[in-house]
Amino acid sequence: MEKILIVGNGGREDALGWHLSKSNEVSKVIRISQKENFNSVEELIIREKIGLTIIGSEGQLSSGIVDFLNSKGIHNVFGPTQKMALVESDKFYSYDLMRELSIPQARSIKCSTKFEVFDAVKKFEQPVLKYRGLAGGKGVKVYSSQKEAWSDLENFVKNFGTEILVAERLHGKEFSVFGIADGRNVLPFEAAFQDYKRLGDGDAGPNTGGMGSYGPVQFISKELIYEITDGIIAPVVRKTNYKGFIYAGMIMSNDGVKVIEFNSRLGDPETQPTVMLIKNNLYDSIKSSLEGNVQKSLVKFKKGSSCCVVLASRGYPENYEVGLPISGISEAEKIKGIKIFHAGTKFENNSWMTDGGRVLGVTSYSCDGISIARKLAYEAVLKINVPGGFHYRKDISLIV
């Protein structure tokens, strides 16, 4: 048995830690903040005799934590190097890579000056602005018209600068496909998930880190997942020698399946319903990946559905208050099939307090399908509260 360290303290990392702790090969799971400096992480690995380190945070990956630990002789680290992580951390790099590999994506224009941004917006009836770097899921703006884009351009450039990818808006059903890569081969998760990035019901409001997720999505077959893995994800993995979790944000558009984005880690909040459905433990698949033999294992999913509803602080994704006492978590978890995953919380004076924008992921499982899973999740949501109430979407799994 060995100890596992997970770097990252969001809902994704809480869910992954909960899942891995159920493996007979794991003695203990330790989670630390993604804000810890590299030297502190190294010291903890040595002091605690950590057998496996998993980097959950895209920020740490893009900063080169895997490279640093490897340089210190610590090689049981699961996650891509800084260069590999460019598939997520640099939109220009990702766009060029997909063009080189003939991977279907939206028509896009790379911009480096305000003039280029303004000129590129003229090329698309419904423009999408994507900040080149990482922005916690908030660096993308989707517009329904050029007029709407014009009215927001100055503000977007003020917030993110001029290194922007301007793209055409794609219409269709979005979904997420996950895999584990060993540098050459990719083990796909045999179910696709859908997340809800917009703040409000009906996909209204600004983009967020994610307000909910459910799976498996019924409009994506297992056969299509394998096609996407072999034809889209695997070429990227082989070209970059990519190792770690990899996640393709996809859309079923009028012109076929296209890539919206690549990510160098698991999704948040998609990880929460994912771990509720996985039949075997990811520990074995992760270890196989580190040994370069990921194809020898298989991620199996059990029958049923899972739904995750994110409870967010009021004011998120902009200004919000922290330090509010949370009530009802234990009552919610008494409901059969419910698991509460923590993201922006802290435990103080024997009670849970809010400590971030996305606070909790109320996650359900039902063997009877998504309608029952959704009902259970919202039943649990009503048990949990803070002064002033949480913000949450009421249509998770209803809009596809």
- In order of 189, 326, 351, 352, the CA distances from 347 in angstroms are 33, 10, 6, 5
What pLDDT score does 101 carry?
99
- Model-level pTM? 0.95
Q: How far apart are CA 343 and CA 260, in angstroms?
A: 25
**Helices marked H in 353-393:** 370-381
Per-residue pLDDT of 133-168, as tens digits, reads 999 888 999 999 999 999 999 999 999 999 999 999
pLDDT band at 179 (very low <50, low <70, confident <90, very high): very high
Q: How far apart are CA 148 and CA 146, in angstroms?
A: 5
What pLDDT score does 300 carry?
84
What pLDDT score does 297 carry?
64
- In order of 110, 122, 151, 158, 168, the CA distances from 116 in angstroms are 8, 10, 17, 15, 15
Per-residue pLDDT of 9-31, as tens digits, reads 999 999 999 999 999 999 999 99
Contact residues for 384 (Cβ-Cβ < 8 A; gap 6+): 311, 326, 327, 328, 329, 331, 332, 340, 360, 362, 390
pLDDT band at 332 (very low <50, low <70, confident <90, very high): very high
Q: How far apart are CA 187 and CA 177, in angstroms?
A: 11
- In order of 135, 149, 150, 221, 317, the CA distances from 154 in angstroms are 18, 9, 8, 42, 20
SS3 300: coil
What pLDDT score does 254 carry?
87
Q: What is the DSSP letter of 201?
A: G
Res 284 pLDDT > 70: yes
Res 65 pLDDT > 80: yes
Per-residue pLDDT of 184-194, as tens digits, reads 999 999 999 99
Tokens 């967020």 correspond to what residue?
208
pLDDT band at 334 (very low <50, low <70, confident <90, very high): very high
What pLDDT score does 296 carry?
64
Per-residue pLDDT of 215-262, as tens digits, reads 999 999 999 999 999 999 999 999 999 999 999 999 999 889 999 999
pLDDT band at 288 (very low <50, low <70, confident <90, very high): very high
- Percentage of the chain lying above the pLDDT 90 cut: 94
Average pLDDT over residues 261-268: 97
The amino acid that residue 4 corresponds to is I
Res 400 pLDDT > 80: no
pLDDT band at 295 (very low <50, low <70, confident <90, very high): confident
What pLDDT score does 100 carry?
98
pLDDT band at 299 (very low <50, low <70, confident <90, very high): confident
What pLDDT score does 137 carry?
80
Phi, psi of 358 (to 5 degrees): -90, 115
Positive or negative, the CA dihedral 227, 228, 232, 234 is negative
Q: What is the mean pLDDT of the chain?
A: 96
103 contacts 236 by C-beta, under 8 angstroms: yes
Average pLDDT over residues 305-331: 98
